[in-house]
């Protein structure tokens, strides 16, 4: 079983004829992802990789191929419109890989999505993978293993590190979600935790946060009250100086808030298993699962 990306997902790639879109679409197909359509305005009628029809609009892909999810590989200037086009077409899930979308543009997108039933993951994220079912994004599929541990992360690289550690300990994953490191994102830690909490096929969760913002503290408070499964967590940026951005646009400490110490304290007080080093994630989860 899995969340977000399931056996019922029929996926389109927005920007499938571009260099990034075509490269990752091929890897999605190699992983037997149910990729049934591509969207590039002006390129409708083409066929990608001899098997995936290309349409001019998301609406056409919905009508002709029953698309209900999309992954976006388009430049930052066009990504906000691509997200809103997918939502207007009624898609259940949109995963936006694009990095560098201005925060003001995402404010407008967030407001638009609030009036729809579309769930956005990202932007500036590695995507979503449900091992054994499919992937929507840029994550290396070969390190994943089907199983019963969910993964939620703000950091793409640390997602792969955590998954690799789990797989090497024969701990499979139900779904792995890279939520993205921008200040304004579609799916937050709490949103993903709610989905894993309701998933009978997920027994535990790895949650990887980083400095900046208060998302981890808010997730800790929510999990303390509502989450019924064990969580293993790590916070990146423990040695970052105040005011210094560390990688992601959202990973910046300001006004004395968003420090790794604050986040780790909140997580620990909520009964979450906090790792001091990313190298401990796999062993800690093995210990938790017994």
Residues taking part in catalysis: 248
DSSP 4-30: SS-TT--EEEETTTSHHHHHHHHHHHH
Q: Residues 76, 122: contact at Cβ < 8 Å?
A: no
Rg value, the chain, Cα = 18
Q: Residues 277, 165: contact at Cβ < 8 Å?
A: no
CA distances from 230 to 36, 150, 175, 203, 269 (A): 36, 11, 16, 8, 14
CA proximity to 119, closest of 136, 97, 96, 152: 96
Q: Residues 162, 208: contact at Cβ < 8 Å?
A: yes
In b/e form, how buried is each residue of 135-155, taking b as 16+ CB within 10 angstroms?
Answer: bbbbbebebbbebbbbbbbbb
Give the angle subtended at the CA of 140 by the CAs of 29 and 33, to the nearest 5°. Answer: 25
CA proximity to 186, closest of 237, 252, 242, 120: 120
């Amino acid at each position: 079983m899995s969340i977000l990306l399931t056996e019922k997902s029929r996926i389109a790639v927005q920007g499938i004829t571009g260099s990034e879109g075509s490269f990752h679409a091929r890897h999605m197909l190699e992983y037997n992802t149910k990729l049934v359509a591509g969207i590039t305005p002006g390129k409708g009628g083409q066929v990608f990789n001899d098997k995936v029809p290309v349409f001019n609009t998301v609406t056409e892909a919905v009508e002709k191929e029953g698309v209900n999810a999309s992954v976006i590989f388009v430049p930052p200037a066009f990504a906000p419109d691509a997200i809103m086009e997918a939502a207007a077409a009624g898609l259940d899930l949109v995963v936006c890989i694009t990095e560098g979308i201005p925060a003001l543009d995402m404010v407008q997108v967030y407001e638009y999505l609030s009036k729809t039933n579309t769930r956005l993951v990202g932007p500036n994220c590695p995507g979503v993978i449900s091992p054994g079912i499919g992937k929507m994004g840029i994550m290396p599929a070969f390190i994943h293993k089907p199983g019963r541990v969910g993964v939620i992360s703000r950091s793409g690289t640390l997602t792969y590190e955590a998954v690799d550690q789990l797989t090497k300990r024969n701990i499979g994953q139900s779904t792995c979600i890279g939520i993205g490191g921008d200040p304004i994102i579609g799916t937050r830690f709490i949103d993903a935790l709610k989905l894993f909490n309701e998933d009978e096929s997920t027994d535990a969760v790895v949650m990887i946060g980083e400095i900046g913002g208060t998302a981890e503290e808010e997730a800790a408070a929510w999990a303390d009250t509502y989450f019924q499964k064990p969580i293993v967590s790590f916070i990146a940026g423990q040695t970052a100086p105040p005011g210094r951005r560390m990688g992601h646009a959202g990973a910046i400490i300001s006004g004395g808030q968003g420090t790794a110490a604050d986040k780790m304290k909140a997580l620990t007080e909520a009964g979450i298993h906090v790792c001091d080093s990313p190298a401990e994630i796999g062993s800690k989860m093995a210990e938790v699962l017994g």
